[in-house]
Amino acid sequence: MNLTYTQEDELFRLEIRSWLEANLPEGWIEGRRNLPENDRQRKDFLKAWQRKLMEGGWAGIHWPKQYGGRGASLIQEVIYQEELARVKAPPVLNFMGINMVGPTLIQMGTSEQKEKYIDKILSGEEIWCQGFSEPNAGSDLAGLQTKAIERDGRWYITGQKVWTTYAHMADKCFILARTSSTGKRHEGITAFLIDMHQPGVEVRPIYQMNDDHDFNEIFLQDAVAEAADVVGGVGMGWQVSMALLSHERVGVAGTIFHLENIFENLVQDMQREAANRNTAIDNPHHASKLAQIYTRLRAASLNYYRNLTKTIDQGYPGPEGSIDKLVSSELSKELTNFAVSMQGIQGVLWKGDENTSVDWQHQYLQSFGSTIAGGTTEILKNVIGERILGLPKDLK
């Protein structure tokens, strides 16, 4: 594992760091980082931020230069994520479009699709979501039942999708539907690009226990997809979806860097003076627990860089990313749970201690979702057991 950076990479770091310091929203560096609570206002705020990133050449940096990217290397993508995490930059609203849909269209889309969608993805003019999971086909993608029927040169899609992130803010959806029921389960699937604002699409929020609703259900009743919006050809949805998933190149880097940030916030909160008592960090038991979390967080970070080095050396990601995802999601629960317990009796309140640097109650409740999104803990353990440890597969 090599933790050194080339001179070119360090110059890249200085460039993005300088740009962020000059272009972050007003007051952001000073700590005024609250996003608008209203969905419409939040969407407008984040779309404006992505447009600024695009204009500065910092949206889709891994895209080829001919499509508006920088052709950044994998290690430069990680540096980019490090610097965004360092300043706690606003999230990229069009995450799915930038990281998954855009690269897939660049790789497999028609000239018409590239001309119609690529620029608007990069600028954030059109926000994308991904319609893969269904109520009875979450981790089992080949089990999807949403159907698409061709009539008069158009495709009419009927079915239901679930756990669709940002569907309530999305303008377009990269969706999979079954166009044939013959053959093997992963055959007969087709990828479509559809308009989320048409009459045949209904989005219903899924409220999480922290009262957020980033996830949604999508109900489709004869939603229309034009023939020109089939990606990769009819019946090629499985191959297209595998290509799309392969574009998630930096894995859980952002999650690990985020955990490092909130760990620093936890230390600051524990060092804060409280009336009529010592700081929480003075308690030997608390200090010991904090040291344990730090040790595991540091190990997770180093393991991520080790897996990243392997990916760079072999030219493609391996199953080791499942370890990174599993460790980071479980550690997120433990860290935020400990932070809530540090508030004492105020920890049972919805907002908790108002003097803390983070809304720990919100973060703790949100952490449970991280053990599901992007691969459930159970699926990740199977991958680790079978593909890394060489254990036998489950009997069916």
Concatenate the DSSP letters of all residues of 190-252 into one string.
Answer: EEEEEETTSTTEEEEE---TTS----EEEEEEEEEEEGGGEESSTT-HHHHHHHHHHT--STT
Contact 50, 89 (CB under 8 A): no
Distances (CA, A) of 176 to 85, 225, 235, 248: 33, 11, 10, 18
The two tokens of residue 98 are: 């930038």
DSSP state for residue 177 in the 8-state scheme: E
Kindly name the residue from 82, 150, 217, 248 that is annotated as catalytic: 248
- Between the two ends of the chain, the Cα-to-Cα distance in Å is 39
> How far apart (Å, rounded) are the C-alpha atoms in residues 197 and 125?
14
Half-sphere exposure of 47 (CA within 13 A, CB side): 17
Q: How is residue 114 written in tokens?
A: 């590239």
The sign one gets for the Cα dihedral 49, 54, 58, 61 is positive
Determine phi and psi for 135, rounding to 5 degrees: -55, -35
For the question of residue 248 being annotated catalytic, the response is yes
**Residues labelled catalytic:** 248
